[in-house]
């Protein structure tokens, strides 16, 4: 076979291959299967992260598809139902404890095929948000929260909104990229209350110039 015929044969193979490529839903199913079976022998606490809940499944629509109003309402309703509050009823805790949590990446990391053992997970908010204006090693995936309490105050309504947003951001922004920190069990209600205090307390460095 000469070079030209070989090229024609190769192009024909590509065309046939493209024509038989699975549709979007089949591709998604294959992808989910690959993720679910990609870590054989791993502990369930790790592999269960690959299992999508009903809300995540809705939010994982392929391509540029947008949520319908019905889907968005369903995600919001389920997210709101997931919220639990501290047993003390206090939604703003100790900002000094919160300061440690927002900079801590402890917990839920995989090392040597095992999930890291830690007494409590960190929140690691600085990965995505600017907080303390003196801290330069921060992420910018999320909006800056510097001056959060100074701008919004520390009213009951602000504290409640902040707590719920951290617990499950999808309550207010369906399918947001922000982790559902409380709903997925990464932070306890008490930890979230400490992070809230770090954001709203006037004595927190977040609210100092």
CA 132 vs CA 46, 144, 196: distances in Å: 32, 10, 14
Both tokens of 200, joined, read 């709203």
Q: Which CATH superfamily is domain 67-207 in?
A: Cytochrome c-like domain (1.10.760.10)
State residue 60's pLDDT score: 86
DSSP label of 158: H
| 110 φ/ψ angles, rounded to the nearest 5 degrees | -105, 125
Q: In the prediction, which pLDDT does 4 show?
A: 52
Instruction: Walk along the chain (209 residues) and give the pLDDT tens digit of each residue.
Output: 455 544 445 444 444 445 556 787 788 788 878 877 777 777 777 777 778 899 998 998 877 788 999 999 999 999 999 999 999 999 999 999 999 999 999 988 877 777 788 889 999 999 999 999 999 989 999 999 999 999 999 999 999 999 999 999 999 999 999 999 999 999 999 999 999 999 999 999 999 98
CA angle, 196 as apex, 191 and 197 as ends, to 5°? 100
Long-range pairs of 38-43 with CB within 8 A, sequence gap ≥ 24: 41/113, 42/113, 43/114, 43/115
The token duo for 139 is 């992420």
Nearest residue to 103 (alpha-carbon basis) of 121, 119, 126: 126
Q: Determine contact, residues 139/128, Cβ cutoff 8 Å.
A: yes
99 vs 143: CA distance, rounded Å? 18
Domain positions in the chain:
67-207
Instruction: Specify the pTM.
Output: 0.82
Residue entry with tokens 């400490």: 194
């Amino acid at each position: 076979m000469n070079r030209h015929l070989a090229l024609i044969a190769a192009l024909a193979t590509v065309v046939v291959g493209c024509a038989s490529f699975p549709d979007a839903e089949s591709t998604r199913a294959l992808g989910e299967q690959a993720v679910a079976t990609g870590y054989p022998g791993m502990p369930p606490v790790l592999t269960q992260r690959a299992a999508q809940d009903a809300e995540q499944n809705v939010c994982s629509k392929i391509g540029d598809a947008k949520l319908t109003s019905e889907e968005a309402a369903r995600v919001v309703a389920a997210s709101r139902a997931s919220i639990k509050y501290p047993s003390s009823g206090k939604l703003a805790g100790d900002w000094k404890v919160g300061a440690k949590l927002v900079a801590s990446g402890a917990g839920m990391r995989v090392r040597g095929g095992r999930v890291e053992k830690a007494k409590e997970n960190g929140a690691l908010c600085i990965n995505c948000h600017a907080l303390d204006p003196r801290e330069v090693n921060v992420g910018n995936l999320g909006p800056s929260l510097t001056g959060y309490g100074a701008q919004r105050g520390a009213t009951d309504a602000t504290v409640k909104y902040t707590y719920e947003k951290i617990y499950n951001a999808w309550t207010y922004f369906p399918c947001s990229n922000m982790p559902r920190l409380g709903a997925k069990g990464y932070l306890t209600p008490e930890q979230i209350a400490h992070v809230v205090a770090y954001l709203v307390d006037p004595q927190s460095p977040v609210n100092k110039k």
